[in-house]
Amino acid sequence: MMRQYELVDRVRRYNPQADEVSLNRAYVYAMKAHGAQKRASGDPYFSHPLEVAAILTDMKLDDSTIVAAVLHDTIEDTDSTREEIDKLFGSDIGRLVDGLTKLKRLDLVSKRAEQAENFRKLLLAVAEDVRVLLVKLADRLHNMRTLYFVAPEKRARIAEETLDIYAPLAGRMGMQTLRDELEDLAFRHLMPDAYAMIAARLADLRQKNGKIIATIEKELTAELAARGIDARVEGRQKQPYSVWRKMERKSIAFEQLSDIFGFRVVVENVEDCYRVIGVVHTKWAVVPGRFKDYISTPKQNDYQSVHTTVVGPGRQRAELQVRTALMHDIARNGIAAHALYKDGRIAGKESLTSESRSYQWLRRTVALLAEGDTPEEFLEHTKLELFHDQVFCFTPNGRLIALPRGATPVDFAYAVHTDVGNSAVGAKINGRHAPLLSELQNGDEVEIACAEGQTPPAVWEGLVMTGKARSAIRRATRDAVRAQYATLGRQIVTRAFERAGKAFTEDKLKSALPRLARATIEEALAAVGRGEMFSGDVVRAVYPEFMEERKASVPRPRGEAGWFGMKKATSLVFKFPGGGESDQSLIPIQSSHGDLPVRFAPNGGAVPGDRIVGILTPGEGITIYPIQSPDLTAFDEEPERWLDVRWDIEESRHELFPARICVTAINEPGTLGTIATVIGDHAANIDNIVIKPLSADFREMTIDIEVNDLKHLNTIVSHLRARPVVSKVERVNG
C-alpha cells in the first residue's frame, strides 16, 4: 500500500507547487475513516482510493482531483458527511466527492430503466465538472485490475458494464490508454478463451516479426535523422480486444489482418509531421486508400495524427501514426491532458485549449437531457455515438460536420440545426441529388433542401445514426401527434360549448386548467382529442353550474344490411357531400392524412357519400364508420365516444378511401384477372384479396379496394355484376 510521503512525491514530480498540506490531510482522514474495512481481496479498503489516486497522478492531474480520489468513498462507505468534507477540504473538493458518491451504486446492466437513469446521473455530474469522470474512470480501472477476487456472476456483470459504457466513454473523451486497458481487462473476463487464443497468436507473431520491427524502427530513425528531423520511432502492436473486434466486424480470420503491427513517430512540430510522411512515402510503397489526415480535421475526441500504411521490409504491411509530442499526450490521456481544472493551469500544458472538443461533445449530449427524452432513449442515443467511428463531411460554405460512420444526410441536417433536420425534404451530395437516407462518406459536401411546415417521417427514427437526429425526430413526431390531438380536441370542445349554449374562449379555459389538472390549454385540448377527458368535463370545469341534458335516444337508420341498434345518449346529425344544409357544428373529415388523427373502420372502411359517425378511441383519435356498420353496436353503451362528423372533400381533390367488397365468382382460369381488370380500368386500387372456396365451381373473394367516393364504388360494383364470371357482388361493412 502506498505510503503518505509516496503520494506527495508522485504529485510533486509533475507539480512542484503541490498543496502538500491538503494531500497529507486527505491521506490521514481517509485512512482513519475507512479504518478496518477490507476489500474482497482481503487488502485494507484504504488501498483502493490510494491506487485510484496513483492512476490519476500518472495523468498528472491537479491537487483537487487527487484529494477527491483519496476521499471518493468516504461519504458513501464511512460515517463522513459532506459538511465535514467541505469544512476540512473546501467546497470544491466536497462537491467532487459528493458527485462521486451519487454515482457509487451504478448498476448499468441491470434493468433497463435503472441503467438509463444512472447513466443520466453520471453524465449530468460529469457535465458539471469533468473531474468527476476522471476519478470515476480511474476507480473503474482499479476495480477491473482486481476483478479476479469478485464472485463470477458479479465479475461478468462488471466486465460487461465496463465494455458497454466505461471503455467507450473513455475513448470518446480521448483517453485511449485507459480505454485500451479497460477493454483488455473486460475482454479477459467476458471471453477468456477468445482472449487466450488471440493473445497467444499475437505473442507468436511478435516473436516471429521482432527483427523486422526493430529493422523498420532503426531504418526509419536513421532516414529521418539524415533529413534533419528529430523523431522518436516506436513499434506497437494491436491490443487483443481490438484484434477480436475487427475480426468480428469484418468476418475475417486472424491471418487476414493487415495492420496488427504499427509504428508511432513523434516529432517536434506540425511541419515535421508532413515531412515524415514525405520521407516514408519515398522510401516504401504506399497502400492506396490508407492515408488519413487527422491533423487538419481532428476527431471529435481531439485526436490528431497523420496515418498512412506502407509495405515495409519483408513485404510486411505497417501502419504509421505521425504526431507531435503535444498530440501524443492528448492521444494517450485525452481530456485529462487539458488544463480545465479549478486549480489553474498545470505546468507544461499552457498551450492546450481551455475546453476540448470531447468535453464540448459531452455538454451537447447532456443538453439532450433537457429536450424531453426518457432515460432509456437518452442511453440508446448516447450509445449510438459512443460506439461509432466517424466520417467528416462539409456544408457548401465549408463548415466541417463530424458524424458517426453510416450517417445519412438526415443526420447531417440535424447536426447543422434541428430546424434544418425537421424541414429537410431533399439532399445533394457533391452536387448531385441523392436520397436523404444515403450513407455519407469522408469528404462529402452535403447540401440540404428544406420546406416550411415539413414534419420528419416517424420511420426516419430507426434509420438515422446519431442520437441527436433520433431524439429530434421522436420529439417532432410527438409534437405533430400532440398538435393533431389538440386540433381535434379544440373542435370537440368548441362544439360541446355550442351545444351547451355557452361561450368558449381560451381565457375562460385557461382559468379552469387547475380543475382539469392540466398545465396548458394545448394539453387540455389534446387530452380531449385523445379521449382521455370528455368535452362535457371541460364545459363543467369552465361553467360549474352547467348541467348537461341528455337528448332522447335516436335510432340509427336502416342500411342495406338491416337494422343495427340504437345510439342511446346523444343525437347524430349527418352531412352528405354536395347536398343538404351545411351544419358547422359537425367535425369535418377530409382524409386520414390531415390535421386530425383520423382512421377508417378496419372492416370495410368508409367513403365520401356514406352516412358516417366518428368513434373516439383514447390514444388513437377518431375512427370513421359508415352508419350501417354492425361494428357500431359495440359502442352503444359508450355514448360519450360518439362524435358528430361530416365529409368535407373538395371536388378537385383526388384521394382514395378504403372500402371492401365480396365477390362470388366462377372458379375458372382468368376469373381473377377479369375482376382485377374491371377494378383497374375504373382507376381504383386493390389493397388486399382473400379467396375462399365455396364449392368446386365457385370462389368467394373478399377484396379491399380504394375508391374516390360512393358513386365510384357503386360504378365498380355495377360493372363487376355485369361480367359473366361473376355471380354476386356485395359491399361489406363489418
pLDDT digits 0-9 by tens, 479-510: 887 887 788 788 788 878 887 888 888 888 88
| Percent of the chain at pLDDT exceeding 70 | 81
Residue 23 located in a structural domain:
yes
- Res. 302 pLDDT band, cuts 50 70 90: confident
Number of folded domains that form the chain? 5
Give helix then strand counts, H and E, for the chain: 27, 23
Q: Per residue in 630-673, pLDDT tens?
A: 888 888 778 777 877 878 777 666 778 899 999 999 888 999 99
Domain boundary among 647, 670, 695: 647
Residue 408 located in a structural domain:
no
Residue 84 located in a structural domain:
yes
- Res. 579 pLDDT band, cuts 50 70 90: very low
Mean pLDDT of 412-423: 92
pLDDT of residue 612: 85
Give the residue numbers annotated as catalytic, written as ranges: 76-77
Q: Is 545 in a helix, a strand, or coil? A: coil
C-alpha span between 590 and 649 (Å, rounded): 5
Q: How many C-beta atoms lie closer than 10 Å to residue 637's C-beta?
A: 9
pLDDT of residue 363: 66
Residue 387 located in a structural domain:
no
Same domain, 26 and 166: yes
Domain boundary among 494, 513, 542: 542
Is pLDDT at 564 greater than 50 in this prediction? no
CATH number of the domain where residue 37 is located = 1.10.3210.10
Mean pLDDT of 219-233: 90
Residue 70 located in a structural domain:
yes
Same domain, 38 and 69: yes
Alpha carbon distances (Å) from 162 to 92, 155, 174, 185 = 28, 11, 16, 9
- Res. 546 pLDDT band, cuts 50 70 90: confident
Residue type, 100: L
Between CA 380 and CA 387, with CA 381 as vertex, the angle to 5 degrees is 85
Same domain, 724 and 639: no
Between CA 394 and CA 393, with CA 427 as vertex, the angle to 5 degrees is 15
Same domain, 691 and 568: no
Q: Which one is predicted more confidently, 383 or 346?
A: 383
Tell how strand 317-324 and strand 261-267 pair up.
parallel
Residue 60 located in a structural domain:
yes
Same domain, 210 and 321: yes
Mean pLDDT of 467-477: 84
- Res. 141 pLDDT band, cuts 50 70 90: very high
Is pLDDT at 368 greater than 60 in this prediction? no
Please give the model's pTM, rounded to 2 decimal places.
Answer: 0.57
Same domain, 251 and 215: yes
Q: Per residue in 23-58, pLDDT tens?
A: 999 999 999 999 999 988 888 999 999 999 999 999
Same domain, 155 and 122: yes
Residue 530 located in a structural domain:
yes
Q: How many C-beta atoms lie closer than 10 Å to residue 226's C-beta?
A: 9
CATH number of the domain where residue 707 is located = 3.30.70.260
Which are the contacts of 158, defined by CB distance < 8 A and separation ≥ 6?
143, 144, 147, 150
| Percent of the chain at pLDDT exceeding 90 | 29
Mean pLDDT of 127-153: 87
CATH number of the domain where residue 264 is located = 3.30.460.10
Is pLDDT at 260 greater than 60 in this prediction? yes
Same domain, 229 and 306: yes
C-alpha span between 86 and 91 (Å, rounded): 5
Is pLDDT at 67 greater than 80 in this prediction? yes
Q: Is 433 exposed, middle or buried, given 0-12, 13-18 or 19+ CB atoms closer than 10 A?
A: exposed
pLDDT of residue 717: 92
Domain boundary among 290, 310, 337: 337
Same domain, 201 and 186: no
Which are the contacts of 33, defined by CB distance < 8 A and separation ≥ 6?
74, 78, 79, 80
C-alpha span between 302 and 562 (Å, rounded): 75
Is pLDDT at 565 greater than 50 in this prediction? no
Is pLDDT at 171 greater than 60 in this prediction? yes
Mean pLDDT of the chain: 80
Same domain, 497 and 614: no
C-alpha span between 135 and 119 (Å, rounded): 16
Q: Which of the listed ranges 99-103, 244-248, 313-317, 354-358 does the model predict with the highest average pLDDT?
A: 244-248
Q: How many C-beta atoms lie closer than 10 Å to residue 545's C-beta?
A: 5
Residue 330 located in a structural domain:
yes
Q: Is 436 in a helix, a strand, or coil? A: coil
Helix (H) or strand (E) holding 709: none
Identify the domain containing residue 581 by its residue range: 554-647
Alpha carbon distances (Å) from 652 to 575, 591, 648, 710, 716 = 19, 14, 12, 16, 21
Q: Per residue in 107-124, pLDDT tens?
A: 444 445 555 565 666 666
Same domain, 670 and 635: no
Mean pLDDT of 262-272: 92
pLDDT of residue 120: 64
- Res. 336 pLDDT band, cuts 50 70 90: confident
Is pLDDT at 11 greater than 70 in this prediction? yes
Same domain, 44 and 172: yes
Residue type, 239: Q
DSSP string, 270-311: HHHHHHHHHHHHHHSEEPTT--EETTTS--TT----EEEEEE
pLDDT of residue 145: 93
Is pLDDT at 568 greater than 90 in this prediction? no
